[in-house]
Structure 1
Amino acid sequence: MLSGWEFFCLRRKEVKKYAMALDKLTTATGTEELLALALEAKRLTIRAREIRTLYQEVKDLYLREYGKFNPEQEKSVG
């Protein structure tokens, strides 16, 4: 299982990918290129939802176990 900090970093990476896909979408010219980029944006949106759900589960587990949640603390420990 990933630590809270790892989930946080993974989520940031996915958000960056999503932003890049949207940026490319605004400069795309051909229909095939637009379709491919739209599909990639949809895939990343679904992935971001999955990560948010998993992140919330990890956060809830930490809260139940330790009474507080701090992803930065994970970074300094690991």
Structure 2
Amino acid sequence: MASAQPVVVYPPDVDGGRTVRIDGAIVGRAFSVQDLARFMQEAGLQEFDEMDVVRSALIEWRGGGPEIWTR
């Protein structure tokens, strides 16, 4: 992950999914912090867990933080 703010989590859609962009590429939709942790692990941060997701400065949350999963 090269940029200063490599992960963007977009606001929830009508189904409660949040689009996730890592290093400029959309990697999928997360429905929980567990999903986002999995995306982070797949992007190379193998030991990233749910608490890391909640605390990480790498993640830019749009439309609410890690506690928001509904529209």
Q: TM-score band (shorter)?
A: under 0.3
Higher relative contact order, structure no. (Cα contacts within 8 Å, ≥ 6 residues apart): 1
Structure with more strand by fraction: 2
Which structure: larger Rg? 1
Q: TM-score, normalised to structure 2's length?
A: 0.28
Structure with more helix by fraction: 1
